[in-house]
Amino acid sequence: MPSDRFARRRALITGGGHGIGRACAHRLADEGARVVLADVDLEAAEKVVAELVEKDVEATAVGCDVTDTASVDAAVAQAVERLGGLDVLVHTVGGGLGHPDFLRTSDDDWHQQLELNLMGVVRSLRAALPHLVQTRGNAVMIGSVNGMVSVGSEPYSAAKAGLQNMTHNLAAEYGPHGVRINLVAPGTIRTRVWDHQPDRMERLAQSYPLGRIGEPEDIAAAVAYLASDDASWVTGISLPVEGGALAAGPYAWRG
């Protein structure tokens, strides 16, 4: 792994206290980035900061609720102040929320899913883009294969599909400003949401041609590529990182 690919780069990672966000923080920091971790779970983000500081990384944590515009604006402002600017935004916050079948899914259910998985990204990008324009920086969002194929969970999947389309549109709009905007679309990843479902995890693993579910570090590696100069001519893409499940067919995740 290159040790200096993000030397002198300043990165804000939303959801940095857990799972994919934590893995992204470690990956970018290991490659030289200075990082601010924004998370509604500030205690968890501070624990990750402590891990990074042990590796002599410059890292700080800020509280951030992506469903609240003022909170997001404040988190981005704090990150810019602490880092002296912003070169990379990595937005990892999201997740499926339980809901009944389509006909019984309420407007409130839809609203909650869209707020967390689509509008949260809108708020982060809206606050960060003026700073990324100044540095000709880039943003990488975490989507989902749910936004690409029919695998159920309509509110969550619709939000992720909207995120994919927004990535394409903003990449075209901000490309002339030197800003790249990309998305990583994971399959099933071993995060805390699966902690109490080991049997289902084992079944899902068999649905993937590579024979396992993904790890947060698999996604962090893809994020690091897209956020780095190695991808300097890559923008507006939705990169599936899903162990071959798209090749296997859209029903791979229904286990």
Residues belonging to the active site? 156
- Between CA 125 and CA 131 the distance in angstroms is 10
Element (H, E) at 50: helix 42-53
In contact, 123 and 50? CB cutoff 8 Å = no
Element (H, E) at 78: helix 69-83
In contact, 73 and 131? CB cutoff 8 Å = no
Spatial CA neighbour of 127 closest among 5, 36, 240, 222? 36
b/e for 130-140, b at 16 or more Cβ within 10 A? ebbeeeebbbb
C-alpha to C-alpha distances, 21 to 11, 44, 104, 132, nearest whole angstrom: 12, 11, 32, 20
Spatial CA neighbour of 64 closest among 83, 85, 45, 89? 45
